[in-house]
């Protein structure tokens, strides 16, 4: 098949959860299909990215840089779309996508994320596929529940309703919609997606992690949190852990260290990290392997959100035991106590982290079980089976009926 792949960011190099998933799906599609990529570039391409666009082409990028601001929020109200959609709205991209689909016989248009759904024209007659990295309305609903400020809670609740209405409209326009978890699938079906149109396209870890040698339990009591620090569920969860769970653990194990790594750190979070005893800030890292090798456990303190956590899959694939709040294992089919340790609150996190720091036998069991779970469920040939089936089932009938 010939597929037009629309994605919001240059997916190379894949370092965030979103680009890891986008790159995994793109590579999988390229093995069996002819794929053309259209994406935004939000900064000048690095030499590494320039080389990738040449080697992995055909790939075309469109410049776009539009931040969050009160003015853009007002513009989004006037346009009747959520703020994130307005921030990713581009006339050149509309024009380019329409021209590509009109001038070449693409069998399918693949919108990689809800932000790119707007670029699949209503009149396009090929197969329309939407890949929802998250059930966005569910994520906004949970974010509203976490807000403590009355004013911010009101704004987030309003945005949740706007996202829900928009997401409900777009899932109805696509022939196939993919969710990353069963919970997200149920949420998207509840928005009115076509009967039987919502499938599963689970997240998978970064390529190559399963192929690396087994880790050895380090003697030093070092914990790792690695994630996109600008993502509100991560930032808020880390704030809570630094103010509650981690100090409690330090009161029992004064030698314990926490390494925080990731991009997009808000200034308030940098200040909190810098003044919290026992915490090291690594910032954005190009290669997390030294951090994986140094750490005794991966702690996922994120709260809210939706979908599944790529950072948790990465840690499991690398063989690093995971200790998490309940959100961290949502949708993964992981058994608490077997594949990872799960705490209900900050005190529980401190308790479980203390156990994993001291028990080598339990460390080894969790390391092996996490890798086994990933091998059995979260490799492309298994996780992407429904995508292959959807494309294969339509390869003989590439102009499905439209409502």
The residues with which 222 forms a beta bridge, in sequence order, are: 257
Confidence of residue 146 (pLDDT cuts 50, 70, 90): confident
What is the pLDDT, as a whole number, of residue 275? 97
Cα–Cα distance between 400 and 126 in angstroms, integer? 7
**Residue 396 pLDDT > 60:** no
Average pLDDT over residues 250-261: 97
What is the 3 state secondary structure string of 169-197? HHHCCCCEEEECCHHHHHHHHCCCCCCCC
Equal fold, 2-204+380-394 vs 209-377: yes
Under 8 Å between Cβ of 355 and 332: no
Under 8 Å between Cβ of 262 and 314: no
What is the pLDDT, as a whole number, of residue 34? 96
Q: Which CATH class is domain 2-204+380-394?
A: alpha beta
Cα–Cα distance between 143 and 54 in angstroms, integer? 39
Question: What are the domain boundaries of the chain?
Answer: 2-204+380-394, 209-377
Confidence of residue 131 (pLDDT cuts 50, 70, 90): very high
Average pLDDT over residues 205-229: 96
Under 8 Å between Cβ of 402 and 128: no
Output 82 or 403, whichever has higher pLDDT. Answer: 82
pLDDT in tens, 282-294: 999 999 999 999 9
DSSP state, residue 209: G
Confidence of residue 67 (pLDDT cuts 50, 70, 90): confident
pLDDT in tens, 263-306: 999 999 999 999 999 999 999 999 999 999 999 999 999 998 88
**Residue 403 pLDDT > 90:** no
Average pLDDT over residues 43-61: 93
DSSP per-residue codes, 74-140: HHHHHHTS-HHHHHT--HHHHHHHHHHHHHS--SEEEEESGGGGGGS-TT--SEEEEE-SS-HHHHH
**Residue 394 pLDDT > 90:** no
Alpha helices by DSSP H, listed for 212-359, are 232-240, 246-252, 267-274, 289-294, 310-318, 346-358
List Cβ neighbours of 69 (8 Å cut-off, separation of 6 or more): none
Cα–Cα distance between 70 and 350 in angstroms, integer? 39
Cα–Cα distance between 245 and 241 in angstroms, integer? 5
In b/e form, how buried is each residue of 215-232, taking b as 16+ CB within 10 angstroms?
bebeeebbbbbbbbbebb
Cα–Cα distance between 3 and 388 in angstroms, integer? 13
Cα–Cα distance between 299 and 309 in angstroms, integer? 12
Counting residues of the chain whose pLDDT is more than 70, the rounded percentage is 97
Confidence of residue 1 (pLDDT cuts 50, 70, 90): very high
**Residue 395 pLDDT > 60:** no
DSSP H or E stretch at residue 25: helix 17-30
Cα–Cα distance between 217 and 11 in angstroms, integer? 33
User: What CATH number matches the domain at 209-377, 3.30.465.10, 3.40.50.2000, 3.40.50.300, 3.30.70.260?
Assistant: 3.40.50.2000
Confidence of residue 400 (pLDDT cuts 50, 70, 90): very low
Q: Helix, strand, or coil here: 329?
A: helix
Place of tokens 């320039």: 50
What is the pLDDT, as a whole number, of residue 21? 97
Under 8 Å between Cβ of 210 and 232: no
Place of tokens 């089936």: 389
CA 128 to chain centre: 22
What is the pLDDT, as a whole number, of residue 6? 98
Average pLDDT over residues 215-228: 95
């Amino acid at each position: 098949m010939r597929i037009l792949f629309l994605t919001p960011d240059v997916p190379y190099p894949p370092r965030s959860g979103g680009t890891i998933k986008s790159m995994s799906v793109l590579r999988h599609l390229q093995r069996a299909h002819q794929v053309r990529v259209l994406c935004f570039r939000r900064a000048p391409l690095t030499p590494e990215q320039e080389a990738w666009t040449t080697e992995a082409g055909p790939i075309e990028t469109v410049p776009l840089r539009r931040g969050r601001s009160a003015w853009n929020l007002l513009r989004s109200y006037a346009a009747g779309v959520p703020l994130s959609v307005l921030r990713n709205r581009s006339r050149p991209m509309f024009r380019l996508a329409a021209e590509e689909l009109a001038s070449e016989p693409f069998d399918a248009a693949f919108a990689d994320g809800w932000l790119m759904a707007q670029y699949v024209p209503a009149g396009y007659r090929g197969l329309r596929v939407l890949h929802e990295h998250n059930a966005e309305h569910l994520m906004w609903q949970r974010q509203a529940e976490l807000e403590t400020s009355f004013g911010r809670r009101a704004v987030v609740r309003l945005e949740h309703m706007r996202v829900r209405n928009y997401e409900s409209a777009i899932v109805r326009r696509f022939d196939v919609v993919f969710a990353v978890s069963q919970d997200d699938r149920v949420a998207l079906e509840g928005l009115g997606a076509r009967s039987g149109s919502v499938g599963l396209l689970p997240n998978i870890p970064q390529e190559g992690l399963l192929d690396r040698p087994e880790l050895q339990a380090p003697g030093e009591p070092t914990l790792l949190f690695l994630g996109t620090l600008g993502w509100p569920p991560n930032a808020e969860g880390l704030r809570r852990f630094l103010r509650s769970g981690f100090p409690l653990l330090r009161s029992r194990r004064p030698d314990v260290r926490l390494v925080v790594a990731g991009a997009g750190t808000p200034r308030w979070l940098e200040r909190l990290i810098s003044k919290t005893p026992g915490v090291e800030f690594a910032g954005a890292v190009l290669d997390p392997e030294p951090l994986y090798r140094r750490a005794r456990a991966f702690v996922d303190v994120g709260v809210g959100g939706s979908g599944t956590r790529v950072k948790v899959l990465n840690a499991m694939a690398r063989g690093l035991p995971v200790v998490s709040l309940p959100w961290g294992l949502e949708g993964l089919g992981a058994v608490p106590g077997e594949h990872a340790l799960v705490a209900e609150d900050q005190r529980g996190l401190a308790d479980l982290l203390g156990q994993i720091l001291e028990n080598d036998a339990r460390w080894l069991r969790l390391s092996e079980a996490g890798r086994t779970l990933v091998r059995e469920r979260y490799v492309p040939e298994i996780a992407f089976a429904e995508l292959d089936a959807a494309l294969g089932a339509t390869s003989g009938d590439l102009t499905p009926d439209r409502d």
